[in-house]
Structures are given as structure tokens and as C-alpha cells.
Amino acid sequence: MTDRPTPAEAARALQEAEHRRDQVFASVQESRWVAVVCGTVLFACLAAPDFFGSEATRWTSPLLAVLSVTYAVMLNTRRGSALLGRPTRLRRKEIAPRFATIARVILLLVMAAGLAAAFIPHPGIPLPYWRTVAGVLLGGFVIVFGRRSEQALLAVARRDRTEGKDLGWAHGGR
Amino acid sequence: MAAADFDPLLLDPTRLSIVSLLSGVQWAEFAWVRESVGLSASALSKQITTLGTQGYVDIDKGYVGKRPRTWLNLSGEGRAALEAHLGALQRVVEDSRRAADTYRATDERPSHG
């Protein structure tokens, strides 16, 4: 390319930049073992009260909370991410603001539902070992579909090109 | 359009690829960038040194366990340079498109006589 690229060269360079951006989204993934460990821990914590009595929730809930916080902290640090097998960290600005808002609302609703279930008395489910069944389903889902669902969510979360004017990507940009 | 609109460093396709890749991430491991761009470690190292000297890329070295790692991230200066460069490229494409449209419109105008 010379000092002033021809229109064809400029178009090719823009395409290349877009392609590299696509590549970032496609490669945001961690090691398979992380999904296996997460799924197994989820299963163990959900199924524990069925085998060790309701006393088990005294340690399963704090354990899940501690592991969730540890995971979140690791994701936000370079060394932690490397340990999880994630070589990159996606920029927050790459995520569509609308998706981020919806995700936050859903997370808050799930947390509120969890708190409500813990403090509001409710009739037990008349199905033996229902927690184990739930653990198998949830844990199995995380192990089998965890990575694929992350990719699917990222595809939805991706900032639309027309939204990216401030990033210098949008057509008809600066 | 003045040639000054373009960043001479980013006119190189390899460097543009590296910087475009880094623009989507907060940080990336050297090995991941190498695999993504399809360069050898020494070739990428050379390009990163050039970009680092200009202040476009920050380099952070450390260890994970006993294994050495290098993380790269695009600096604010690098991001601004990329945005300006992509904007300039976009303008070249648009100017060309507009010129083609004008030419087509002139060409399609019915001739009298």
C-alpha cells in the first residue's frame, strides 16, 4: 500500500479490520475443563441436600457464592484469565448497551428470586430427589452446552456495526 | 485528501491486522495474537516492537505458574490512531462510491439531438 491507498486497497483494509473484529468474538472461549468443573460443582451443590439433609445448604450456598466471586475476579485479571484458559478479555464497549442492560436485569431478577426462595416459606416439591434431578439438568447443560451457549450469547451481545460510530467501525464513520 | 490523514504505521496490512485485533479486547496474550494473525513469534515480536516504540501497544510480561507470558493491549494513542486511519480509509471508499454514482448519473442522462 502506498501513502494514499486506492479505493480498492482501502476497501480491502476495512474488510480486514472487520474480519479481525469478528475473530475476537469467535475466539472468546475458555478451556473445556472450566465448563466441566463448573457443571460438576453446580450438580454437587444442588444435589447435596438430597443426600446430606437440609443442613447441607449451610455450606453449599456460601461455597457457590465464593466460587462465583473467585471466577468473576479471575476473569478480570490477566493471570486469572490465563489460568482459566482465556487468552483475551473482550472490551466492554464491544457489547451492545441494550444487551448489557437486559442481562443485568435478568441477573437481578434471578438473585431476587433466590433470596425470595430462601426467606419466604414455601411448600416443598413433592418429588423425591428433585434437587438431584435439577443438578443433573443444570450441571449437564453447563458441561455440554456451556461453551456453545456462551458463543450464542456473544453473537446476540455483539454491538451492531451501525452502533459503532464512536469505535470508528461504522460505515460512513468519521 | 492529504496523505497525512493516514497513519503511515497502519498502512502496513500486518500492523493494521494486529491493531484491529487488539482494538476489540482489553488485553490479549501474545500467543493468541500470533495464532490469530498467522505470524511467527519473531515476526510478531518485530511488529509489536515497532508498534510499542510508537506508543500504540502496551506490553506486559509476567508469569502464570512457572510459564512466562506476554500480554498486549492497545493504548489510547493506538486506538485513536486506528480510528483516524479507519475513518480516512472509509472516506476514500465513500469518495470513490460517490464519484462512481455521479459518473453513472451523468452517463444515464438522456442525450438530446
- For the stretch A93-137, pLDDT in tens is 888 899 989 999 998 998 898 788 777 776 767 788 888 999 999
pLDDT at A28: 82
pLDDT at B109: 67
In a domain, residue B110? The reply is no
AA identity, residue A171 = H
Interface of A with B in 65-84 (CB under 8 A): 78-79, 82-83
Q: Which residues, at least 6 apart from A99, have a Cβ–Cβ distance to it below 8 Å?
A: A156, A157
In a domain, residue B2? The reply is no
CA pseudo-torsion sign A171, A174, B5, B10: negative
Partner B contacted by A94 (CB < 8 A): yes
In a domain, residue B5? The reply is no
pLDDT at A2: 63
For residue B64, what are the β-bridge partners? B67
A90 contacts B20? CB cut-off 8 A: no
Number of CB pairs < 8 Å for A and B?
115
Instruction: Among A18, A88, A93, pick the best mutation site for testing chain B contact (most B Cβ within 10 A).
Output: A88
Partner A contacted by B11 (CB < 8 A): yes
Buried/exposed code over A41-66 (b: 16+ C-beta within 10 A; e: otherwise): bbbbbbbbbbeeeeebeeebeeeeee
pLDDT at A156: 86
**pLDDT classification of B3: cutoffs 50, 70, 90:** low
Query: In whole angstroms, what is the distance from residue A78 CA to residue A120 CA?
Result: 41
CB atoms under 10 Å from CB of B9, counted, come to 18
Partner B contacted by A26 (CB < 8 A): no
For residue B60, what are the β-bridge partners? B71
Give the residue, A127 or B36, on which the prediction is more confident.
Answer: B36
In a domain, residue B3? The reply is no
Instruction: Among B44, B93, B96, pick the best mutation site for testing chain A contact (most A Cβ within 10 A).
Output: B93
Query: In whole angstroms, what is the distance from residue A2 CA to residue A147 CA?
Result: 43
DSSP E strands, B1-113: 25-29, 57-64, 67-74
Residue of A nearest to B88 (CA): A174
pLDDT at B39: 96
Which parts of chain A have pLDDT scores under 70? 1-2, 122, 124, 160-174
C-beta of residue B51 within 8 angstroms of C-beta of residue B15: yes
Q: What are phi and psi of B38, to 5 degrees?
A: 75, 40
In a domain, residue B15? The reply is yes
Query: In whole angstroms, what is the distance from residue B49 CA to residue B39 CA?
Result: 14
Q: Which of chain A's residues have a Cβ under 8 Å away from the Cβ of B86?
A: 14, 17, 168-169, 173-174
In a domain, residue B35? The reply is yes
pLDDT exceeds cutoff 60 at B2: no
pLDDT at A106: 93
pLDDT at B101: 85
pLDDT at B111: 59
Instruction: Determine the Cα angle at B7 with ends B2 and B13, to 5°.
Output: 120
pLDDT at A173: 37
CA pseudo-torsion sign B77, B79, B81, B84: negative
**pLDDT classification of B13: cutoffs 50, 70, 90:** very high
Partner A contacted by B4 (CB < 8 A): no
pLDDT at B113: 45
Assign residue B71 the CATH number of its domain.
Answer: 1.10.10.10
C-beta of residue B22 within 8 angstroms of C-beta of residue A87: no
pLDDT at B103: 83
Domain span including residue B19: 10-101
In a domain, residue B1? The reply is no
In a domain, residue B108? The reply is no
Partner B contacted by A156 (CB < 8 A): no
For B47-98, write each residue's pLDDT tens digit.
999 999 999 999 999 999 899 999 999 999 999 999 999 999 999 999 988 8
Query: In whole angstroms, what is the distance from residue A143 CA to residue A137 CA?
Result: 10
Partner A contacted by B70 (CB < 8 A): no
Domains held by chain B: number: 1
DSSP string, A107-166: HHHHHHHHHHHHHS--PPPSSTTHHHHHHHHHHHHHHHHHHHHHHHHHHHHBPPGGGGGG
pLDDT at A25: 86
How distant is the Cα of A40 from the closest Cα of chain B, in angstroms? 25
A82 contacts B89? CB cut-off 8 A: no
